[in-house]
Structure 1
Amino acid sequence: MLLAFLIGLSFASTLMLVYVMSKSRRHVQLMQMQSSVIKKQVQELEESNQQLAFLNQEKIQLLSLVSHDLKGPFNRIFALAQLMNMANENLNQDQKELLGKIHQVSVDALNMIRNLLDTRRLDEKRIELALGKLDFANVVNSFVKHYRSLAEKKNIEIHLQVVGDTIIHSDKNYLGRVVENMLSNAVKFSDEKKKIECTLTRKDGVIEFSVKDEGPGFSLEDKQKMFQRFQPLTARPTGGETSTGLGLFLIKSIAEKMGGKIILESANGQGSKFTLELPVQKTI
């Protein structure tokens, strides 16, 4: 009786061992299959990433090529429009209006091209500041004078107030890019017969340049995404100008690169005030 019990127990143990080994073998086979699938998916992902990297590099090169190739012709159009405008006494009113539109379109296109090139430099971390001592007021006056001629075509007045010492240690080129985009946006999004108030002041080791317009302002939703690139906002240009969605992204990025910041005060339907705040001495 005991012998029969032991034989039965041994047989049951053998069956159990066979079952466990069989199950373990299936588990190993399943793991191998899963590992093979994962390896294949990783390989496909790596190939996709390589293809995306190649396409992205191709896009960057194409963008650079097109931007540089377009910049030259538009610069010449802009220069010719300015020369014709300086000697416009023989033009009738319709011709003067057409000349004004050519001037506006060329300025708009050049600013768009510069924004695309600056965005590419930011992406590639190739923006290097050439710091030097300069008068911020001279930079502002130059761009205010330029944009007054464009604003006049929409019967918009641009006023500038400069208070105190405006000497700053900064990069003239990129400082100008921020000022240009701030003024461009104010003119672009303002309706006819409005006013734009510009103020340049120095206080407590910083210099502030502000541009206040009487445009549509920004909604709460706009404020949450306005400094991101290519983001559509509620406000639209009022004179047929183009908008790439890069201007606000660039002024914030460049301001921070120069050790400053952009401050926005705005309410929907009540205009906007953008302020560029920069340290008088930029340290790197």
Structure 2
Amino acid sequence: MRTKEIQPSNLLHKLSPTALGWVVFAILLGSSSAVLGLLYVQASARVEESIHDQLRNLSRLAARQIDVAQHESLTSREQMRAASYQAALAPLVEFHLLLPDIVYLYTVRDAIEDEHQYLVLDTINDPRIAAIAEQSERPVRLSPLMESHDETVENAAFDITMASGETYIFPEPRADFYGRYLGARSPLIDQNGRYVGYVAIDYNLKSFDARMDQMRFSGLLALALTTLMSLLLARLAYSMRLQSMRQLAKIKAAESVLWEQKDRAENLSKAKSELLAIAAHDLKNPLNAVTGLTEILIAQRKSLPPERQDEQEMEILETVRDGASHMAKLVHQILANEGLEAHGLTFDPTPFDMAPLVQKVVEFNAQRAENKGITITTEIVRGMRCQVDPTRIQEAFDNLVSNAVKYTPMAEEKEIHVRLEHLGRHARFSVTDQGPGLSAADQAKLFGKFQRLSSVPTDGESSTGLGLSIVKTIAEMHDGRVGCESQLGAGCCFWIELPLLNG
């Protein structure tokens, strides 16, 4: 008996092991680099936005330190020695001393009648501020009261912003002997609601540059780890293709002998299992390395004093860590599903009381639900025994409960109800949530492999699209069945029915 000759069906099948390895490496590294680049751009934009928000708030706080009526009374340079000038300047000086990253802090009167601007208050006139500048080797130039100060802003938006009472942030940083700094201007409004001038604050960007350097370092570290992971996966693809080609050559050489063909098929199955083991080993170590290294970095950052902690950097590190954890979970579920399908009957059933097992699953998920403000209630009928592999069944039950927690919105009034009841000759385990529910289109795709539904997790959790497929496989291994009842917007009820002993 001759077997049908195996013909490659697509381009990938025609690639040599070396070419396939390079293709896999290029795809993985390219996609990972694109994702890391996008994350870096988004993080940079967030850091820049946070700097703008911080500067806007500082500028508004500085404006609140100023008594506008007192400010308007300062009209002559001779008043600089008067107590009224010192009283008006003192709040700005104290504000400046609290924030050493401030480069310049001064006020300007906008004299509409002669279309000129004049300096009124400048913190550099205070000896303490001047001393700080001298210690930093910055040139100190005092700013006399009513000195002409016609600041040129090549942006019509400046006048519009001042007239509207809002704060103006310069679109680009400026640089001088003080370094790089970003400026903001907040209007001064008198008691009649009239715009009379503004407070100017220029903020040193050295802290922003340090945060950007930290993000670049984190990005390079993530890129290095991604490159290593891509190389390992490419090596795995090379090994798989090489092994497959060798096995294919052996099958073709022995195609005229039926028993030899059977032996070759068994060898292929064994090779598949070996390759899956290689995949588990080769993927586990780099993924654990990524997770471990990011955990170390996160722990180091958390140990820093609060003022040195960087929220944006922590977000990037947590994104890398969560991505590696998600990939590890995906590999685990793929291998678990593959193993269940290939060896579906090789489980260890035993008579088992369902109630303690359900209670254990509920307790395992209770803390995560509580963290989201969700209450898990139970209704458990005790004494029902089924012929099951408890490890497999617990995995299926846990999948349904954890899914309910994952897709239920965070709110104190939300509730998940877990029930174990007697239903004819079956024990029925069900989980009812108050999540977004499923559309008819989503319900049609349930329990299939890699199915992604329109509902998304509510607290950043990950989803691989394999969990419900594994639940269905486990239930069918025990001569049971699964199902779902749902209406869009009204939550879901997922259930598993298992035959009762002596039911």
TM-score w.r.t. the length of structure 1 is: 0.65
Q: How big is the shift at 1:44? A: 4.7
RCO higher in structure (CA 8 A, sep ≥6):
1
Are residues 1:45 and 2:8 paired? yes
1:185 aligns to what? 403
Amino acid across the alignment from 1:260: G
Q: How big is the shift at 1:136? A: 0.8
1:158 aligns to what? 376
2:463 aligns to what? 243
Q: Runs of 5+ in structure 2 lacking a partner?
A: 17-240, 246-270, 293-313
2:225 aligns to what? none
CA separation of 1:114 and 1:133: change in aligned 2, threshold 3 A = farther
Q: How big is the shift at 1:69? A: 5.0
2:451 aligns to what? 231
Equivalent of 1:65 in 259, 281, 287: 281
Q: How big is the shift at 1:115? A: 2.5
Q: How big is the shift at 1:204? A: 2.1
1:277 aligns to what? 497
Equivalent of 1:54 in 227, 244, 266: 244
Q: Distance in 1 between matches of 2:6 and 2:331?
A: 39
2:486 aligns to what? 266
Q: Distance in 2 between matches of 1:197 and 1:107?
A: 28
Q: Distance in 2 between matches of 1:210 and 1:130?
A: 24
CA separation of 1:71 and 1:209: change in aligned 2, threshold 3 A = farther
Q: Distance in 1 between matches of 2:9 and 2:439?
A: 42
Q: Distance in 2 between matches of 1:162 and 1:113?
A: 34
Q: Distance in 1 between matches of 2:372 and 2:335?
A: 28
2:335 aligns to what? 117
User: What SS is found at the alignment partner of 1:238?
Assistant: coil
Deviations, residues 190-237 of structure 1 (Å, cap 9, x unaligned): 101211001001232210010000011111111111211111110011
Amino acid across the alignment from 1:195: E
User: Percent same amino acid among aligned pairs?
Assistant: 28
Q: Distance in 1 between matches of 2:485 and 2:400?
A: 14
RMSD, aligned α-carbons: 4.0
CA separation of 1:234 and 1:66: change in aligned 2, threshold 3 A = farther
Deviations, residues 110-153 of structure 1 (Å, cap 9, x unaligned): 86565233212024235522111211111111110110111011
Amino acid across the alignment from 1:167: R
Q: Distance in 2 between matches of 1:69 and 1:262?
A: 35
Structure index of larger Rg = 2
Moved more, 62-71 or 252-261: 62-71
Q: Distance in 2 between matches of 1:191 and 1:273?
A: 16
Count of matched residue positions in the alignment of Structure 1 and Structure 2: 220
Q: Distance in 2 between matches of 1:258 and 1:211?
A: 19
Q: Distance in 2 between matches of 1:263 and 1:274?
A: 6
Deviations, residues 221-268 of structure 1 (Å, cap 9, x unaligned): 111112111111100111111100011111111101111001210011
Deviations, residues 73-125 of structure 1 (Å, cap 9, x unaligned): 9xx9xxxxxxxxxxxxxxxxxxxxx9xx9xxx799888656523321202423
2:118 aligns to what? none
User: What SS is found at the alignment partner of 1:221?
Assistant: helix
